[in-house]
């Protein structure tokens, strides 16, 4: 509905609005989904139908149609577009160049009915390749109620494909690829030709000869093909003709006269006659008979192509006129047939490849041959001999046994040859070997043959790659009596070759080879260097571990055992650069004779797997020092790798590259030392003091101009450094020997040592305490055990303290933990004096009451269990008792855990203390009775939080003109 109509409706009200809506309704357009089918050249076919509907009172004039092809067909393929209604052409256009974007055709058609169908006809031209598509969409331009409109695009719901006329669909249904033997007959091609188009015309045979042509695109000629037969069947009609295969490459042409009305033809096949009715089909079968044994060439091929010569009239409609068009329609067989001179038509090499690519003495190599009888005759194959040759370098003397099996049946075997006798004397050139009996394979069946080669004493490095073929006899029964000689019905298969070239090796490690780097060159005195790298591989198919031991290193150069001081054998991981030492020796007495023997004690087993195992041995030599080694001598190693595999011992050798010896002079080391800071001064009694940092400065010269590779310091106190100019402190003082060792780029070292004296720090006196058991001796007969505890931060490790005990009753002791018995029931003051190694001492004392039961403290509490710094905490004891009659509590001795102590007189049961620093401390209190007896300490833990409290004291106070703050 137009905007104008909507405005009218809004003005005139609801009832009037409904009437106006019915009066002004626009026509509708819909695609009728015409499926025309395939289009042929010159056809004029309706490909789209559009239904137009309008109201009964509505006046509609269709004045133009725009047609667009969104398919691939354009000008030349489509010659004409026509718009038809009721059998009348309303308009048409042959200006097709703009069809892909849309061409407009004027029609000027007044709709007199409420429904009209517009048909769009397409006329196909003759410039057709085949496969182009037609998929139209259409817009209708019209006038309604005095206004002009254009419909939306109306798309054809089903498109069409343009064919090249004649038979629109050609399918090849030829038999699978196969084989034909001499004198065989069989079908080589079957093709179906179908007329499947939109027109109603039948397909006609061409009006002039030829009608059918058969060509061979393969290699077979008239010496291989005897005759060719073409059979054509359409419905109940059939025409058959057999002709000899001609010479040349033109193929065989069949004319109308070839298909005369003689059996088995059902009727004459005439020029211009009907091949198939409209939308019918016919089948063309090509059969061949092949030449005999003497003429056929083995391996040639048959790959046929059939061409039909036909006509078809294009459909005429909507004012267009169709034409009779001639077509040559060809189809090539999907498959190729191969000519074989019987026996096994196909042989396939199916041997399993060996990942290692090697074989060793005792290994069995299996070659698998799969033979197929795939011909068209009905004869089986009797396999009776085999041809074997080696395309590698191994001779027949290197094979200990050969066996051929067909399934589980042994058909040929040769073994137990005398030493040096060739099992297969012609292994390199090839030879036929006759089976013990013929092995029958049924017609069109297959058989697997396996050849087993047992490797003997081979030449290391020779190769084996066997090649074989099977000969079979194929003829009608009965077969002649065994044994046979070669006859006309014997046919060898193709020759097939084992997939791998196997390298033969003696047992043990198949590969022991010197590898580079190292390349050889110059070796210097004092140097440890990689003299040889050896690649080891266990390549055989047997899964047996290899144990390496020993390794014998011999020098075939001029250097002796005095020039070399150590031989090391390392094993290197094949995937990483990591190494592990297997062994070493410093016994070089046999270095130039039998060799230096290195025993391997660990990591010397090569774990074999299905894929084999490999590793590398690195041989390191350490040369004698420059004062001993003789320059210009040479080192060239012959390293023997002795090993065992499967309880057998083997010996392999690899020679290294050559090294020439040169003298590398020692570097000369020296160093100085001084205080690291300029403010410190050297003490009179020592070079330095314990508090000073000493700067050491190293120097080195080398007569060979070698770079200094490393610096190594030992400071005499267990400390080391590895830089040229280190610093160091001696916090405990003493006299020390400092040594600097430098190593040049070739591994030679030079050293320098000096003595240094450092004044130690002031002596720190020890701290001591002691306890005793029992705490309150009940009688003079009670033995009291004293236990001391001493700490001293600067007492040398392992140095004893001096102990002096005074028990208060004239008794003494000089041991750390003495025992004592007191003479009377009274109170004693016991003193312990501890003296360290530098004569500093400390004295501690405690009061002990003999015969006096010590008091007991019941509880200890705090007014604040988690105070902050600066808080005043009050500690209170309760339930303080004394079991002795007449004894009273005299005082309480407090220790607050931060260094502060306090003694309060009883009956005061509290003590107040302020903590100035955050910490977790243990607060302790001891009760003392009137006779001096002390209770066990009562303790509790207090956690103090917050910042450290700083107390500032000023003096003199009051001050007049100045003051000192602490």
Report the mean per-residue pLDDT for the chain.
88
- What share of the chain in percent tops pLDDT 90? 61
What pLDDT is attached to residue 416?
62
Overall average pLDDT of the 594-610 stretch: 91
DSSP output for 898-932: SS-EEEEETT--EEEEE--S-EEEEEEEEEEETTS
What is the Cα–Cα distance from 207 to 195, expressed in whole angstroms? 18
Q: Mapping DSSP to helix (H, G, I), strand (E, B) and coil, where does residue 415 land? A: coil
Give every CB contact of residue 44 below 8 A, 6+ residues apart in sequence: 80, 82, 121, 122, 123, 124, 314, 315, 316, 317, 318, 320, 322
Residue entry with tokens 């006899």 = 473
* pLDDT the model gives residue 417: 61
**What mean pLDDT do residues 766-778 have?**
88
- CB neighbour class for 274 (10 Å; exposed up to 12, middle 13-18, buried from 19): middle
* Both tokens assigned to 935: 């209770």
Which one of 11-15, 413-417, 757-761, 911-915 scores highest in mean pLDDT? 911-915
Confidence of residue 22 (pLDDT cuts 50, 70, 90): very low
How much of the chain, in percent, has pLDDT values that exceed 70?
A: 93
**Residue 879: pLDDT band by 50, 70, 90 thresholds?**
very high
Reported as a pLDDT band with limits 50, 70 and 90, residue 354 is confident
The side-by-side arrangement of strands in the sheet containing 634-635 is 521-524, 659-662, 634-635
Q: Is 23 helix (H, G, I), strand (E, B) or coil?
A: helix
Does the structure show a pLDDT above 90 at 569?
Answer: yes
Task: Report the C-alpha dihedral over residues 323, 326, 332, 334, rounded to 10 degrees.
Answer: 20
What is the rounded CA–CA span in Å between residue 704 and residue 746? 10
Q: H or E element: which one contains 352? A: none
Give residue-wise pLDDT tens across range 659-697: 999 998 888 989 898 887 544 444 445 788 888 999 999
Q: Which long-range contacts (CB under 8 A, 24 or more apart) does 236-244 make?
A: 236/266, 237/266, 237/267, 238/264, 238/265, 238/266, 239/265, 239/266, 239/269, 240/264, 240/265
Report how far residue 475's alpha carbon sits from residue 438's, in angstroms, rounded to the nearest whole number. 14
pLDDT, residue 678, reads: 46
Per-residue pLDDT tens over the stretch 509-528: 888 999 999 999 999 998 89
Per-residue CA distances from 291 to 241, 251, 341 (Å): 19, 17, 11
pLDDT band per the 50, 70, 90 thresholds, residue 13? very low
pLDDT score, position 902: 93
Tokens at 92, concatenated: 């048409």
Q: How long, in residues, is the chain?
A: 966
Among 33-37, 414-418, 827-831, 873-877, the minimum mean pLDDT is found in 414-418
CA distance 376 to 178: 8
What is the DSSP pairing of strand 659-662 with strand 964-965? unpaired
pLDDT higher than threshold 80 for residue 17 = no
For the chain, the first-to-last Cα distance in angstroms comes to 104
At 342 the pLDDT is 75
Please write the tens of the pLDDT for every residue from 636-668. Answer: 999 999 999 988 899 999 999 999 999 988 889
- Cα gap 138→69, rounded to integer Å: 9
Task: Tell me the pLDDT tens digit for each residue of 384-436.
Answer: 999 999 999 999 889 989 999 999 999 999 886 655 556 778 899 999 999 99
What pLDDT score was predicted for residue 824?
A: 87
Q: Residue 841 and residue 806: Cα distance in Å, rounded?
A: 15
The angle formed by the CA atoms of residues 760, 765 and 771, to the nearest 5 degrees, is: 145
pLDDT at 959: 67
For 157-195, write each residue's pLDDT tens digit: 899 999 888 899 999 999 999 899 888 899 999 999 999
Write down the number of H helices and E strands in the chain.
2, 76
pLDDT on residue 478: 80
Band of pLDDT at residue 965, cut at 50, 70 and 90: low
Maximum average pLDDT range among 30-34, 207-211, 303-307, 844-848: 303-307
Residue 425: predicted pLDDT: 83
pTM equals 0.49
3-state helix, strand, coil in the chain (%, to 5): 5, 50, 50
Q: What is the rounded average pLDDT of the residues 275-298?
A: 92
For the segment 604-630, the average pLDDT, to the nearest whole number, is: 90
For residue 950, what pLDDT band results from cuts at 50, 70 and 90?
low
**Averaged pLDDT for residues 584-605:** 94
Asked if pLDDT for residue 16 goes beyond 60, the answer is no
Helix axes 14-23, 3-12, angle to 10 degrees: 150
Q: In the predicted model, what is the mean pLDDT of residues 612-635?
A: 93
Range 326-339 average pLDDT? 93
CA-closest candidate to residue 737, choices 723, 722, 751: 751
C-alpha torsion 246→247→248→249, nearest 10: 40
Tell me: the pLDDT tens digits for 216-242? 999 999 999 999 999 999 888 889 999
The tokens for 415 are 């073994």
With a CB cutoff of 8 Å and minimum separation 6, the contacts of 450 are: 366, 367, 368, 369, 404, 405
Confidence of residue 716 (pLDDT cuts 50, 70, 90): very high
Please give the structure tokens belonging to residue 632.
């210009």
Q: Coil, helix or strand for 12?
A: helix
pLDDT at residue 450 in the model:
97
Choose among 191, 226, 194: nearest CA to 212.
191
Task: Dump pLDDT digits (tens) for 313-328.
Answer: 888 776 555 788 889 9
**Token pair listed for 703:** 């007569």
User: Long-range contacts: 493-496, Cβ < 8 Å, 24+?
Assistant: 493/343, 493/344, 493/346, 493/347, 493/371, 493/469, 494/346, 494/347, 494/469, 495/387, 495/467, 495/468, 495/469, 496/347, 496/348, 496/349, 496/369, 496/467, 496/468, 496/469
236-240, 321-325, 628-632, 763-767: which is most confident? 628-632
């Amino acid at each position: 509905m137009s905007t104008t109509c909507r405005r009218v409706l809004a003005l005139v009200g609801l009832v009037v609005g409904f009437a106006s809506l019915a009066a002004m309704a626009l026509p509708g357009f819909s695609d009728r989904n015409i499926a025309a089918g395939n289009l042929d050249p010159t056809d004029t076919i309706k490909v789209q139908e559009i239904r137009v509907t309008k109201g009964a009172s509505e006046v509609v004039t269709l004045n133009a149609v725009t047609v667009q092809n969104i398919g691939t067909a354009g000008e030349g393929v489509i010659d004409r577009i026509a718009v038809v209604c009721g059998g009348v052409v309303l308009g048409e256009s042959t200006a097709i160049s703009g069809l892909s974007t849309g061409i407009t055709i004027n029609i000027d058609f007044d709709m007199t009915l409420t429904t009209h169908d517009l048909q769009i006809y397409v006329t196909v031209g003759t410039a057709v390749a085949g496969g182009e598509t037609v998929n139209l969409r259409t817009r209708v331009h019209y006038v309604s109620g005095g206004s002009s409109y254009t419909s939306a695009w109306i798309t054809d719901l089903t498109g069409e494909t343009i064919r090249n006329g004649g038979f629109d669909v050609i399918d090849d249904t030829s038999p699978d690829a196969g084989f034909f033997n001499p004198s065989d007959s069989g079908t080589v091609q079957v093709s179906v030709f179908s007329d499947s188009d939109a027109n109603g015309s039948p397909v006609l045979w061409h009006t002039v000869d030829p009608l059918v042509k058969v060509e061979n695109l393969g290699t077979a000629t008239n010496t291989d093909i005897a005759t060719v037969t073409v059979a054509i069947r359409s419905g109940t009609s059939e025409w058959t003709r057999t002709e000899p295969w001609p010479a040349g490459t033109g193929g065989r042409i069949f004319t109308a006269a070839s298909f005369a009305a003689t059996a088995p033809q059902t009727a004459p096949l005439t020029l211009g006659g009907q091949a198939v009715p409209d939308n019918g089909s016919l089948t063309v079968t090509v059969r061949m008979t092949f030449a005999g044994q003497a003429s056929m060439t083995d391996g040639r091929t048959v790959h046929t192509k059939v061409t039909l010569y036909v006509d078809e009239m294009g459909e005429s409609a909507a004012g267009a006129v169709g034409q009779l068009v001639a077509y040559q329609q060809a189809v090539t067989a999907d498959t190729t047939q191969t000519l074989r001179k019987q026996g096994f038509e196909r042989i396939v090499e199916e041997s399993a490849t060996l990942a290692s690519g090697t074989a060793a003495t005792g290994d069995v190599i299996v070659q698998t041959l799969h033979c197929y009888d795939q011909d068209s005759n009905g004869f089986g194959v009797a396999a009776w001999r085999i041809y074997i040759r080696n395309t590698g370098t191994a001779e027949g003397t290197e094979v200990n046994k050969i066996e051929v099996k067909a399934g589980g049946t042994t058909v040929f075997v040769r073994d137990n040859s005398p030493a040096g006798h060739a099992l297969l004397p012609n292994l390199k050139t090839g030879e036929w070997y006759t089976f013990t009996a013929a092995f029958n394979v049924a017609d069109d069946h297959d058989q697997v043959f396996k050849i087993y080669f047992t490797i003997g004493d081979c030449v290391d490095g020779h190769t084996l790659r066997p090649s074989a073929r099977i000969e079979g006899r194929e003829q009608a029964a009965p077969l002649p009596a065994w044994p046979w000689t070669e006859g006309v019905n014997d046919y060898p298969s193709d020759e097939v070759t084992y997939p791998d070239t196997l390298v033969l090796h003696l047992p043990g490690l198949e590969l022991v080879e010197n590898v580079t780097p190292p390349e050889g060159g110059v070796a210097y005195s004092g140097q440890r260097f990689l003299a040889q790298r050896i690649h080891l591989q266990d390549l055989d198919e047997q899964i047996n571990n290899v144990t390496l031991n020993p390794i014998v290193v011999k020098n075939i150069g001029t250097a002796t055992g005095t020039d070399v001081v150590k031989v090391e054998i390392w094993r290197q991981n094949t995937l990483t650069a990591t190494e592990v030492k297997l062994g070493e020796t410093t016994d070089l007495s046999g270095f130039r004779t039998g060799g230096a023997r290195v025993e391997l004690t660990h990591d010397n087993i090569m774990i074999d797997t299905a894929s084999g195992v490999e590793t590398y041995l690195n041989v390191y030599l350490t040369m004698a020092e420059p004062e001993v080694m003789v320059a210009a001598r040479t080192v060239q190693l012959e390293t023997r790798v002795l090993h065992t595999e499967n309880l057998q011992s083997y010996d392999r050798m690899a020679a290294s590259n050559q090294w020439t010896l040169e003298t590398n002079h020692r570097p000369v080391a020296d160093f100085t030392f001084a205080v690291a800071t300029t403010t410190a001064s050297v003490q009179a009694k020592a070079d330095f003091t314990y508090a000073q940092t000493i700067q050491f400065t190293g120097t080195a010269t080398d007569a060979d101009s070698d770079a200094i590779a490393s610096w190594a310091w030992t400071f005499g106190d267990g400390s080391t450094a590895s830089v040229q100019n280190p610093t160091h402190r001696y916090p405990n003082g003493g006299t020390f020997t400092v040594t600097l060792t430098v190593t040049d780029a070739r591994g030679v070292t030079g050293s320098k040592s000096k003595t240094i004296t450092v004044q130690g720090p002031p002596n720190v006196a020890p701290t001591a305490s002691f306890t005793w058991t029992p705490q309150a001796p009940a009688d003079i007969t009670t033995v009291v055990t004293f236990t001391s505890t001493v700490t001293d931060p600067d007492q040398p490790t392992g140095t004893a303290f001096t102990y002096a005990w005074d028990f208060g009753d004239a008794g003494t002791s000089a041991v750390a933990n003495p025992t004592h018995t007191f003479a009377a029931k009274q109170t004693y003051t016991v003193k312990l004096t501890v003296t360290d190694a530098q004569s500093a001492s400390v004295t501690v004392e405690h009061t002990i009451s003999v015969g006096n039961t010590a008091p007991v403290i019941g509880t200890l509490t705090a007014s604040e269990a988690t105070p902050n710094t600066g808080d005043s905490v009050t500690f209170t004891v309760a339930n303080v008792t004394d079991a002795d009659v007449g004894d009273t509590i005299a005082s309480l001795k407090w220790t607050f855990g931060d260094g502060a102590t306090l003694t309060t007189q009883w009956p005061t049961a509290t003590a107040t203390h302020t903590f100035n620093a955050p910490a977790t401390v243990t607060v302790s209190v001891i009760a003392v009775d009137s006779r001096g007896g002390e209770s066990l300490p009562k303790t509790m833990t207090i956690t103090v939080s917050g910042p450290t409290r700083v107390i500032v004291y000023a003096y003199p106070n009051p001050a007049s003109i100045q003051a000192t703050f602490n």
